[in-house]
A = this chain, B = another copy of it.
Amino acid sequence: MSRRYAILALDRFATDAKTAHGVMRYGSDDVVAVIDPSSAGRSAREVLPYLESDAPIVADVAEALEYGPTALLIGTAPKGGGLPQQWRGAVLDAIRARLEIVSGLHEVLGSDPEFRAAAQAARTTIWDVREPPEVPLFSGDVYAIDAPVLLTVGNECAVGKMTVSLELVRAAKAAGRRARFVPTGQTGVLVAGWGISVDRVIADFAAGAAEQLVLYAASEGADLIVVEGQGAINHPAYAAVTLALMTGCAPDALVLVADPQRLQIDQYPTPTLPYAEAIAVHEQLLATVKPARVIGIALNTHGMSDAAARAEIERARAQTRLPVDDLVRFGPEPFYAAIAPALVKGRPRRAGAPA
Protein backbone atom coordinates (compact mmCIF):
# COMPACT_ATOMS: atom_id res chain seq x y z
CA MET A 1 0.00 0.00 0.00
CA SER A 2 1.39 3.38 -0.88
CA ARG A 3 1.73 6.15 1.68
CA ARG A 4 -0.02 9.49 1.92
CA TYR A 5 2.60 11.84 3.30
CA ALA A 6 2.42 14.96 5.41
CA ILE A 7 5.91 16.45 5.09
CA LEU A 8 7.47 18.21 8.06
CA ALA A 9 9.64 21.13 6.86
CA LEU A 10 9.28 23.79 9.56
CA ASP A 11 10.54 27.14 8.22
CA ARG A 12 12.65 25.35 5.63
CA PHE A 13 10.36 24.26 2.81
CA ALA A 14 11.39 27.11 0.53
CA THR A 15 15.11 26.61 1.13
CA ASP A 16 16.91 23.43 2.11
CA ALA A 17 14.19 20.77 2.49
CA LYS A 18 15.95 18.52 -0.04
CA THR A 19 14.11 15.38 1.04
CA ALA A 20 10.73 17.08 0.68
CA HIS A 21 11.56 18.40 -2.77
CA GLY A 22 12.87 15.06 -4.01
CA VAL A 23 9.84 13.09 -2.88
CA MET A 24 7.42 15.69 -4.28
CA ARG A 25 9.20 15.74 -7.60
CA TYR A 26 10.09 12.10 -8.22
CA GLY A 27 8.44 9.96 -5.55
CA SER A 28 5.70 7.43 -6.21
CA ASP A 29 3.89 8.15 -2.92
CA ASP A 30 1.30 10.95 -2.55
CA VAL A 31 2.05 14.12 -0.62
CA VAL A 32 -1.17 15.53 0.88
CA ALA A 33 0.26 18.42 2.92
CA VAL A 34 3.47 20.26 3.78
CA ILE A 35 3.91 21.59 7.33
CA ASP A 36 5.77 24.92 7.37
CA PRO A 37 4.23 27.88 9.26
CA SER A 38 6.47 30.36 7.42
CA SER A 39 4.71 29.52 4.12
CA ALA A 40 1.31 28.39 5.47
CA GLY A 41 -1.68 29.29 3.31
CA ARG A 42 0.24 29.00 0.04
CA SER A 43 0.69 25.86 -2.04
CA ALA A 44 3.94 23.97 -2.59
CA ARG A 45 4.09 24.95 -6.28
CA GLU A 46 3.50 28.58 -5.46
CA VAL A 47 6.70 28.41 -3.43
CA LEU A 48 8.62 26.07 -5.76
CA PRO A 49 7.07 26.18 -9.26
CA TYR A 50 9.29 23.40 -10.62
CA LEU A 51 7.71 20.68 -8.43
CA GLU A 52 5.78 18.03 -10.34
CA SER A 53 3.11 17.57 -7.67
CA ASP A 54 1.35 20.13 -5.52
CA ALA A 55 0.09 20.16 -1.93
CA PRO A 56 -1.27 22.71 0.51
CA ILE A 57 1.19 24.19 3.02
CA VAL A 58 -0.21 24.20 6.55
CA ALA A 59 0.95 25.56 9.90
CA ASP A 60 1.04 22.44 12.06
CA VAL A 61 0.35 18.72 12.36
CA ALA A 62 -3.25 19.28 13.52
CA GLU A 63 -4.06 21.15 10.34
CA ALA A 64 -2.26 18.58 8.19
CA LEU A 65 -4.46 15.81 9.59
CA GLU A 66 -7.44 17.34 7.76
CA TYR A 67 -5.88 16.10 4.51
CA GLY A 68 -5.82 12.46 5.59
CA PRO A 69 -2.10 11.57 5.73
CA THR A 70 -0.97 8.07 6.71
CA ALA A 71 2.63 9.07 7.46
CA LEU A 72 4.75 12.02 8.57
CA LEU A 73 7.91 12.41 6.49
CA ILE A 74 10.83 14.34 8.02
CA GLY A 75 11.48 16.64 5.09
CA THR A 76 15.04 17.77 5.65
CA ALA A 77 18.54 16.38 6.13
CA PRO A 78 20.56 18.91 8.15
CA LYS A 79 24.35 18.66 8.59
CA GLY A 80 25.11 16.11 11.26
CA GLY A 81 21.78 14.42 10.68
CA GLY A 82 20.02 15.30 13.94
CA LEU A 83 16.37 16.23 14.40
CA PRO A 84 16.10 19.97 15.12
CA GLN A 85 15.07 20.30 18.78
CA GLN A 86 12.07 22.47 17.93
CA TRP A 87 10.69 19.70 15.66
CA ARG A 88 10.22 17.17 18.45
CA GLY A 89 6.78 18.46 19.40
CA ALA A 90 5.49 18.05 15.84
CA VAL A 91 6.83 14.49 15.65
CA LEU A 92 5.10 13.62 18.92
CA ASP A 93 1.85 15.19 17.69
CA ALA A 94 2.04 13.02 14.57
CA ILE A 95 2.77 9.86 16.55
CA ARG A 96 -0.19 10.53 18.84
CA ALA A 97 -2.34 10.93 15.71
CA ARG A 98 -1.12 7.42 14.78
CA LEU A 99 0.82 8.49 11.71
CA GLU A 100 3.78 6.36 10.67
CA ILE A 101 7.01 8.37 11.05
CA VAL A 102 9.41 8.16 8.08
CA SER A 103 12.86 9.67 8.58
CA GLY A 104 16.04 9.87 6.57
CA LEU A 105 18.01 11.51 9.38
CA HIS A 106 21.28 10.15 10.75
CA GLU A 107 19.68 10.25 14.21
CA VAL A 108 17.70 7.04 14.65
CA LEU A 109 14.25 8.23 15.74
CA GLY A 110 13.20 4.68 16.53
CA SER A 111 15.90 4.57 19.21
CA ASP A 112 14.67 7.75 20.92
CA PRO A 113 13.03 6.58 24.18
CA GLU A 114 10.28 9.22 24.10
CA PHE A 115 9.40 8.57 20.44
CA ARG A 116 9.56 4.83 20.87
CA ALA A 117 7.29 4.86 23.92
CA ALA A 118 4.82 7.18 22.17
CA ALA A 119 4.79 5.01 19.04
CA GLN A 120 4.15 1.89 21.08
CA ALA A 121 1.32 3.60 22.96
CA ALA A 122 -0.23 4.82 19.69
CA ARG A 123 0.40 1.49 17.94
CA THR A 124 2.23 3.10 15.05
CA THR A 125 5.74 2.64 13.68
CA ILE A 126 8.92 4.59 12.94
CA TRP A 127 10.83 3.83 9.71
CA ASP A 128 14.44 5.07 9.81
CA VAL A 129 15.30 4.98 6.14
CA ARG A 130 19.02 5.54 6.70
CA GLU A 131 19.64 2.48 8.87
CA PRO A 132 21.73 0.36 6.52
CA PRO A 133 21.45 -3.41 6.22
CA GLU A 134 24.43 -5.68 6.79
CA VAL A 135 26.47 -5.76 3.59
CA PRO A 136 29.51 -7.80 2.55
CA LEU A 137 32.90 -6.33 1.70
CA PHE A 138 33.46 -5.28 -1.91
CA SER A 139 33.99 -8.49 -3.91
CA GLY A 140 34.58 -7.40 -7.49
CA ASP A 141 31.48 -9.30 -8.67
CA VAL A 142 30.23 -6.01 -10.09
CA TYR A 143 32.94 -6.19 -12.77
CA ALA A 144 31.08 -9.07 -14.41
CA ILE A 145 27.68 -7.46 -15.04
CA ASP A 146 26.64 -6.69 -18.61
CA ALA A 147 24.75 -3.40 -18.20
CA PRO A 148 26.79 -0.20 -18.43
CA VAL A 149 26.95 1.70 -15.14
CA LEU A 150 26.80 5.49 -15.10
CA LEU A 151 27.73 7.31 -11.87
CA THR A 152 27.05 10.99 -11.24
CA VAL A 153 29.77 12.91 -9.41
CA GLY A 154 29.60 16.53 -8.32
CA ASN A 155 31.57 19.68 -7.61
CA GLU A 156 29.78 19.95 -4.22
CA CYS A 157 27.08 18.37 -2.07
CA ALA A 158 23.47 19.23 -2.91
CA VAL A 159 24.11 20.36 -6.49
CA GLY A 160 21.61 17.94 -8.08
CA LYS A 161 23.30 14.56 -8.53
CA MET A 162 20.08 12.73 -7.61
CA THR A 163 17.99 14.93 -9.86
CA VAL A 164 20.30 14.49 -12.83
CA SER A 165 20.34 10.72 -12.27
CA LEU A 166 16.55 10.57 -12.19
CA GLU A 167 16.21 12.81 -15.26
CA LEU A 168 18.69 10.65 -17.18
CA VAL A 169 16.73 7.52 -16.28
CA ARG A 170 13.55 9.21 -17.47
CA ALA A 171 15.13 10.16 -20.78
CA ALA A 172 16.68 6.73 -21.26
CA LYS A 173 13.33 5.05 -20.62
CA ALA A 174 11.70 7.37 -23.14
CA ALA A 175 14.36 6.23 -25.60
CA GLY A 176 13.38 2.61 -25.01
CA ARG A 177 16.00 1.44 -22.53
CA ARG A 178 15.37 -0.54 -19.35
CA ALA A 179 17.21 2.09 -17.31
CA ARG A 180 17.24 1.88 -13.53
CA PHE A 181 17.98 4.52 -10.90
CA VAL A 182 20.20 3.34 -8.01
CA PRO A 183 19.59 5.34 -4.81
CA THR A 184 22.50 5.89 -2.42
CA GLY A 185 21.14 8.58 -0.07
CA GLN A 186 18.11 9.04 2.11
CA THR A 187 16.08 11.06 -0.37
CA GLY A 188 16.87 8.71 -3.21
CA VAL A 189 15.83 5.74 -1.05
CA LEU A 190 12.55 7.48 -0.20
CA VAL A 191 11.94 8.30 -3.87
CA ALA A 192 12.74 4.83 -5.18
CA GLY A 193 11.45 2.76 -2.28
CA TRP A 194 14.71 0.78 -2.00
CA GLY A 195 18.44 1.39 -1.69
CA ILE A 196 21.04 2.12 0.97
CA SER A 197 22.24 5.39 2.49
CA VAL A 198 25.88 4.63 1.75
CA ASP A 199 27.12 7.49 3.95
CA ARG A 200 25.66 5.60 6.92
CA VAL A 201 27.56 2.37 6.24
CA ILE A 202 30.72 1.52 8.21
CA ALA A 203 33.60 2.93 6.17
CA ASP A 204 35.23 -0.43 5.35
CA PHE A 205 31.94 -1.68 3.90
CA ALA A 206 30.84 1.43 1.99
CA ALA A 207 32.23 0.21 -1.35
CA GLY A 208 30.59 -3.16 -0.71
CA ALA A 209 27.23 -1.45 -0.17
CA ALA A 210 27.58 0.40 -3.47
CA GLU A 211 28.44 -2.86 -5.23
CA GLN A 212 25.39 -4.64 -3.78
CA LEU A 213 23.09 -1.87 -5.04
CA VAL A 214 24.45 -2.14 -8.59
CA LEU A 215 24.26 -5.94 -8.49
CA TYR A 216 20.63 -5.70 -7.41
CA ALA A 217 19.76 -3.34 -10.26
CA ALA A 218 21.50 -5.69 -12.71
CA SER A 219 19.63 -8.69 -11.32
CA GLU A 220 16.35 -6.89 -12.03
CA GLY A 221 17.17 -6.82 -15.72
CA ALA A 222 18.37 -3.23 -16.15
CA ASP A 223 20.27 -2.53 -19.36
CA LEU A 224 21.48 0.85 -18.08
CA ILE A 225 22.24 1.53 -14.40
CA VAL A 226 22.40 5.15 -13.24
CA VAL A 227 23.86 5.61 -9.76
CA GLU A 228 23.21 8.69 -7.68
CA GLY A 229 26.58 10.01 -6.45
CA GLN A 230 27.28 11.63 -3.07
CA GLY A 231 29.49 14.46 -1.83
CA ALA A 232 32.47 15.68 -3.82
CA ILE A 233 35.92 14.20 -4.33
CA ASN A 234 37.63 17.18 -2.66
CA HIS A 235 35.07 17.62 0.11
CA PRO A 236 36.95 17.74 3.44
CA ALA A 237 34.22 15.83 5.30
CA TYR A 238 32.49 13.65 2.69
CA ALA A 239 35.07 12.75 0.04
CA ALA A 240 35.37 9.23 1.44
CA VAL A 241 31.76 8.46 0.55
CA THR A 242 32.30 9.87 -2.95
CA LEU A 243 35.27 7.56 -3.48
CA ALA A 244 33.50 4.52 -2.02
CA LEU A 245 30.82 4.95 -4.70
CA MET A 246 33.44 5.40 -7.42
CA THR A 247 35.26 2.17 -6.59
CA GLY A 248 32.21 0.22 -5.38
CA CYS A 249 29.91 0.88 -8.36
CA ALA A 250 32.74 0.26 -10.84
CA PRO A 251 31.18 2.72 -13.27
CA ASP A 252 31.78 2.61 -17.01
CA ALA A 253 31.15 6.33 -17.35
CA LEU A 254 30.74 9.41 -15.16
CA VAL A 255 28.61 12.52 -15.54
CA LEU A 256 29.92 15.56 -13.69
CA VAL A 257 27.11 17.52 -12.02
CA ALA A 258 28.27 21.05 -11.23
CA ASP A 259 26.77 24.24 -9.91
CA PRO A 260 29.01 26.93 -11.45
CA GLN A 261 27.92 29.41 -8.80
CA ARG A 262 29.42 27.32 -5.99
CA LEU A 263 33.04 28.46 -5.80
CA GLN A 264 33.66 27.07 -2.35
CA ILE A 265 32.75 23.89 -0.45
CA ASP A 266 30.08 24.92 2.06
CA GLN A 267 31.54 25.62 5.54
CA TYR A 268 35.14 24.80 4.58
CA PRO A 269 38.03 26.86 3.14
CA THR A 270 38.15 24.62 0.07
CA PRO A 271 37.53 25.80 -3.49
CA THR A 272 35.30 23.66 -5.67
CA LEU A 273 37.14 22.08 -8.59
CA PRO A 274 37.07 23.74 -12.03
CA TYR A 275 35.65 21.48 -14.76
CA ALA A 276 38.98 20.32 -16.18
CA GLU A 277 40.49 19.58 -12.77
CA ALA A 278 37.40 17.71 -11.64
CA ILE A 279 37.45 15.57 -14.76
CA ALA A 280 41.17 14.84 -14.36
CA VAL A 281 41.03 13.84 -10.70
CA HIS A 282 38.05 11.51 -11.10
CA GLU A 283 39.48 9.81 -14.18
CA GLN A 284 42.93 9.48 -12.63
CA LEU A 285 41.53 7.86 -9.48
CA LEU A 286 39.63 5.25 -11.46
CA ALA A 287 42.33 4.65 -14.07
CA THR A 288 43.84 1.64 -12.30
CA VAL A 289 40.62 0.42 -10.64
CA LYS A 290 38.06 0.44 -13.45
CA PRO A 291 38.81 3.01 -16.12
CA ALA A 292 35.92 5.39 -16.76
CA ARG A 293 35.70 8.73 -18.51
CA VAL A 294 33.59 11.76 -17.71
CA ILE A 295 31.26 11.73 -20.73
CA GLY A 296 29.28 14.89 -20.06
CA ILE A 297 28.61 17.76 -17.67
CA ALA A 298 25.16 18.45 -16.23
CA LEU A 299 25.08 22.02 -14.96
CA ASN A 300 22.82 23.31 -12.23
CA THR A 301 22.15 26.90 -13.31
CA HIS A 302 19.37 27.44 -10.77
CA GLY A 303 18.75 31.17 -10.30
CA MET A 304 20.71 32.25 -13.39
CA SER A 305 19.02 33.91 -16.37
CA ASP A 306 18.52 31.80 -19.49
CA ALA A 307 21.19 33.87 -21.21
CA ALA A 308 23.68 33.43 -18.37
CA ALA A 309 22.91 29.71 -18.22
CA ARG A 310 23.48 29.31 -21.96
CA ALA A 311 26.74 31.26 -21.73
CA GLU A 312 28.02 29.03 -18.92
CA ILE A 313 27.00 25.91 -20.86
CA GLU A 314 28.95 27.18 -23.88
CA ARG A 315 31.95 28.03 -21.74
CA ALA A 316 32.00 24.53 -20.22
CA ARG A 317 31.62 22.96 -23.68
CA ALA A 318 34.49 24.98 -25.08
CA GLN A 319 36.72 24.15 -22.11
CA THR A 320 36.05 20.42 -22.01
CA ARG A 321 34.74 19.52 -25.51
CA LEU A 322 32.05 17.42 -23.80
CA PRO A 323 28.25 17.48 -24.02
CA VAL A 324 27.04 20.08 -21.47
CA ASP A 325 23.49 21.06 -20.52
CA ASP A 326 21.14 21.93 -17.66
CA LEU A 327 18.76 18.97 -17.60
CA VAL A 328 16.18 20.68 -15.38
CA ARG A 329 16.06 23.90 -17.35
CA PHE A 330 16.21 22.44 -20.86
CA GLY A 331 14.99 18.85 -20.35
CA PRO A 332 17.14 15.70 -20.22
CA GLU A 333 16.52 14.40 -23.76
CA PRO A 334 19.18 16.32 -25.73
CA PHE A 335 21.86 15.59 -23.13
CA TYR A 336 20.91 11.92 -22.95
CA ALA A 337 21.03 11.65 -26.73
CA ALA A 338 24.47 13.26 -26.73
CA ILE A 339 25.98 10.93 -24.10
CA ALA A 340 24.18 7.71 -25.08
CA PRO A 341 26.87 6.60 -27.58
CA ALA A 342 29.45 6.74 -24.76
CA LEU A 343 27.40 4.51 -22.43
CA VAL A 344 29.27 1.33 -23.23
CA LYS A 345 30.67 -1.42 -21.08
CA GLY A 346 34.30 -1.30 -19.94
CA ARG A 347 36.42 -3.79 -18.03
CA PRO A 348 38.97 -3.35 -15.23
CA ARG A 349 42.55 -2.83 -16.25
CA ARG A 350 44.51 -6.04 -15.85
CA ALA A 351 47.02 -6.15 -13.04
CA GLY A 352 50.57 -7.40 -13.16
CA ALA A 353 52.24 -4.69 -15.18
CA PRO A 354 55.66 -3.85 -13.80
CA ALA A 355 55.92 -0.74 -11.65
Contact = CB atoms under 8 A, between A and B. Distances in A.
Contact of A203 (B199, B274, B288): B199
A330 interface: no
Interface in A184-241: 198-204, 206-208, 233-241
Contact of A281 (B79, B269, B285): B285
Contact of A240 (B200, B241, B274): B241
A336 interface: no
Interface in A271-310: 271-275, 277, 280-281, 284-285, 288-290
A21 B274 CA distance: 46
B203 A271 contact: no
Contact of A269 (B274, B348, B355): B348
Nearest to A262: B355
A325 to B, nearest CB: 18
Interface of A: 79-81, 106, 136-138, 140, 143, 198-204, 206-208, 233-241, 243-244, 247-248, 250, 260, 263-265, 267-275, 277, 280-281, 284-285, 288-290, 348-355
A273 B288 contact: yes
A269 B350 contact: yes
Contacts of A239: 207, 243-244, 247, 285, 289
A202 B202 contact: yes
Given A247-B240, A288-B234, A289-B234, A270 B351 contact: yes
A198 B203 CA distance: 8
Contact of A271 (B136, B202, B265, B353): B353
A353 B207 contact: no
A204 B200 contact: yes
Q: Helix, strand, loop or mixed for chain A's interface?
A: loop
A271 B288 contact: yes
Nearest to A264: B351
Contacts of A137: 79-80, 237
A276 B10 CA distance: 52
Nearest to A80: B137
Given A269-B348, A273-B288, 6 more contacts: A140-B236, A200-B202, A201-B202, A236-B290, A270-B289, A271-B353
A271 B351 contact: yes
Contacts of A352: 263-264, 271
Contacts of A203: 198-203, 206, 240-241, 244
Nearest to A234: B288
A355 B260 contact: yes
Contact of A237 (B247, B288, B290, B355): B247
A249 to B, nearest CB: 11
A25 B354 CA distance: 32
Nearest to A237: B138
Nearest to A233: B285
Contacts of A269: 140, 143, 348-351
A189 B260 CA distance: 43
Contacts of A285: 233-234, 239, 281, 285
